[in-house]
Structure 1
Amino acid sequence: MTRKPQMKLAILTSHPIQYYAPFFQLLAKIITLKVFYTRGTTALYDRNFLCQINWDIPLLEGYDYTFLTNTAKYPGTHHFWGIINPDAIRQIEEFNPRYLLIYGWSNLSHFKILKHFKGKVKTIFRGDSILSNKLPLWKRPFKKIFLAWLYTQADTILYAGTNNRAYFKHYGVKDEKLHFLPHSIDNQRFSSTGSGALIRKSLGLKETDLLVLFAGKFNKGKNPILLLKAFKKICKNNHHLLYIGSGPLETLLKKEAKTHPNIHILPFQNQKIMPCFYKAGNLFCLPSLQETWGLSINEAMACGKAVLVSDRCGAATDLVTAANGMTFKSNDLDDLTTKLDQLLQCKEKLEKAGTASAKLISTWNFHEQAKSILKCL
């Protein structure tokens, strides 16, 4: 792509994220940009992983950035009052961007900045929500009125996939305002890093053994217990299940694993080694009750793995086909058990599905994201 430094873009996001940094690095080679991190400089404690996350890949290289002062009494991304940046508007105005890209609105600072810059610069909003029935019926009309107004504050709305687009349409965003920005991970890094041979050996797996992998937070939303129940129903001697992560359900999972030699649990693993864990598996499963997207699905597919995911994962509609895996009805043990059993019948079919996964996900990449952003500017 030809460099276009006159395109000056300010990006507002809460904190350095492993899925965003490579995109910022690529975009900085094409246009002038500065990322404003709003949560502050304190290390991020993940309330779902129940641990502090320190990523082992560079997240602050290759682009200009600043950490804004966050004066919130209880800093965090999990509540509206967790990000308050008194100096944010002044610092963004000093950078003097022609365009402003805002990731999310559900904290005071992002909300105020979105409102402030309406009509002053071209504002682009990025969110990945999907429709949910969690709210009581009486609250839903009020939410619809508020969000329909909120999304008028941005000039362009970026949607991550089919379900995310349906969400924005539900809240009144017009087609001409919607622009596709594919939810992506670093496909190149995941596909080219290492192999799973040593991990399989450490678990005592044979070449003919089939390994189902769950990677993520051990919480109710990710629903790892449902997978455990389904696995126990169909488990054969050559079937193994590996959990990687941490969270409030860890104790329960470990208790179950003690009584079943084919269930393995490992702690949270950092980014450099994760591709090897995906490659050690034969099938990746994400049984979430509600998932706006599920970027672990992208990661598994980039590593050439078949996938089995809940229909409440936002990615399911776009990334899971008959060629590369299956989708099951959320929280339906029988449906998950049946489809898990079907997929574990043949190793060769799983390998073929993995090849289809790698091909499909190859177009969901940062270069496509960059092209999409440039069309908005």
Structure 2
Amino acid sequence: MAPDCRQNCGCYQIDCASPYPTGPNDKDGAHPVTLNLTYFLSHPIQYQSPLLRRLALEDDLSFRVVYEHDFSTRTYFDQGFQSEVRWDIPLREGYRSDLLADVSVNEVLRECDAVWFHGWQSKLFRRILKDASRRRKLTLMRGENWFGAMPDGYGVMRLARRTYHKSIFRYCSAFLTIGKKNREYYLDHGVSQARLFDMPYAVDNQTFLQRASNTMIAEVRQSLDVTPEQKMILYAGKLQRRKNPHHLLEALKTISHNAATPAVLVFAGDGEMRRELEVEAAASPWIKFVGFKNQTEMPTYYAAADVFVLPAEREPWGLAINEAMASGTAVVASDQCGAAYDLITPETGRMTEAGNMDALAGAISEILPRSKEMGTAAQAHVKLWDFEADVRGILSALEVLV
């Protein structure tokens, strides 16, 4: 990629008068490199906004985000939760952002050195990806695909999907891999190791580590009628059939039957299955539904729990696993959650076969007596799976490719 700078010092300023023609990759030059990176994203996402604020702090990166939509900055109806949602954290503060409708794509691409996309579902973003590649811009792709969540299928369907993906991947300079299974997916699709850079799927660990005080934890447990000697099992997220929250009801029957003191199962979330679950759980005093809980509320619920459970099928990642572990809570997740392969170890939790309710009950029962010890290990394990690793990953990709 040739810089615009006439002195070839790598600063990308046309009127630069630097006497140091060091070139864009020379870190010893007196004139520092500033790369212009534009991130094209569907809409402001509560998980990503803290990372974007962190990237905006990088001195050698001129960073901006272009959103296709901004509905999530207001109250909106969330299809997954089947309820109105308004996030209680700032989504567009601390970094430069624009709406696609308010900018000229041609001007954005002319000004930037590199573009970054999250997934390729948007037809418009696919066109921008191709345009950026043809202009010889660096093109970075970060997606959530892996075969457990998004299989290629068989026969003609497999051929069609792989042909489609190849038609997109050819325009990508590099891929930012979120975990082991995501990396394997790209390799299986013919992407070379040299084009893969680790950018782990992370959350704002410090927020979940610091936000819940002992007093707040005690208040939540008391509000749920969880006694000091009882164990609390937490499911947090959308109550969708694909995520199998109903499997926890069956698992709880086995767990409670074998325990001297019944465990309390808490559902924090909303969705299509809520009414069905409430009817099925009506006779049990140990099953609680607290509805949707916002970002500033969730750290206390995670920290109040002894184990967090995500028995989902076809789950691309499962960032709730990160959140629970950062809060010091052990985890049980199915083998169809992408995060399980990177974050769950014998010391931090258990991974079970999706749909196997006996295995699910057994894993929870095994963890509950050791929940404090395993929660501490979980928090230590996820500590390095953080935004700093993300920043290193994307900067490494840019440094190698420039």
TM-score using structure 2 length: 0.85
Displacement of 1:51 after TM fit? 2.1
Larger CA deviation: 331-340 vs 132-141: 132-141
Aligned partner of 1:167 in structure 2 is 185
Which amino acid in 2 is paired with 1:281? A
Q: Where do residues 103-252 of structure 1 align in structure 2 (5 Å cutoff)?
A: 103-120=118-135, 121-131=137-147, 132-133=150-151, 135=153, 137-195=155-213, 196-235=217-256, 236=259, 237-252=261-276
1:260 alignment partner, one of 273, 279, 284 = 284
Q: Describe the shift of the 1:4–1:188 C-alpha distance in structure 2 as closer, same or farther (beyond 3 A).
A: farther
- What's the offset of the Cα at 1:35? 0.5
Match of 1:13 in 2: 41
Instruction: State the match for 1:350 in structure 2.
Output: 371
State, as a whole percentage, how many aligned pairs show the same letter.
32
In the other structure, the counterpart of 2:54 is 26
Give the aligned CA root-mean-square deviation in angstroms: 1.8
State the 1:119 CA deviation.
3.9
Instruction: Say yes or no: does 1:57 pair with 2:115.
Output: no
Aligned partner of 1:101 in structure 2 is 116
Structure 2: gaps (5+ residues): 1-30
CA distance in 2, matches of 1:361, 1:93: 36
Q: Deviations over 1:321-349 (max 9, x none)?
A: 100110000111121122222223x1xx1
List alignment gaps of at least 5 residues for structure 1: 70-84
User: What is the identity, as a one-letter code, of the residue corresponding to 1:55?
Assistant: W
Partner of 1:32, secondary structure, is strand
Question: Per-residue displacement from partner, 1:254-273 (whole Å, max 9, x unpaired)?
Answer: 11221110000111000111
Cα distance per residue 1:190-242 (max 9 Å; x no partner): 00002321100111111111000000000011110111111122214331100
CA distance in 2, matches of 1:124, 1:53: 31
1:38 positional shift: 0.6
Secondary structure of the corresponding residue to residue 269 of structure 2: strand
1:169 corresponds to which letter in structure 2?
Answer: L
SS of 1:200's partner is helix
Distance 2:140 2:254 in 1: 48
Whether the aligned pair in 1 keeps the contact of 2:269 and 2:292 (CA below 8 Å) is yes
**d(CA) in 1 for partners of 2:107 and 2:293?**
36
Q: Identify the match of residue 321 of structure 2 among 287, 291, 297.
A: 297
Partner deviation per Cα, 1:116-141 (whole Å, 9 max, x = no partner):
11142101011011114474543011
Q: SS where residue 34 of structure 2 aligns?
A: strand
Match of 2:389 in 1: 368
Amino acid at match of 2:42: S
Distance 1:300 1:41, change over 3 A: closer
Shift of 1:88: 5.4
Structure 1 135/220 Cα, relative in aligned 2: closer, same or farther at 3 Å? farther
Q: 1: CA distance between counterparts of 2:155 and 2:104?
A: 37
Question: What amino acid does structure 2 have at the position aligned with 1:99?
Answer: A
Say which SS state the counterpart of residue 367 (structure 1) adopts.
helix
Name 1:78's counterpart in structure 2.
Answer: none
Checking the alignment, whether the CA contact within 8 Å between 2:310 and 2:332 is kept in structure 1 is yes
Q: Which amino acid in 2 is paired with 1:115? A: K
Alpha-carbon contact 1:230-1:336 (below 8 Å) kept: yes
Equivalent residues of 2:352, 2:363 under 8 A apart: yes
Distance in 2, Cα, partners of 1:373 & 1:352 = 34
TM-score (norm 1): 0.90
Taking the aligned partners of 2:393 and 2:83, their CA distance within structure 1 comes to 35
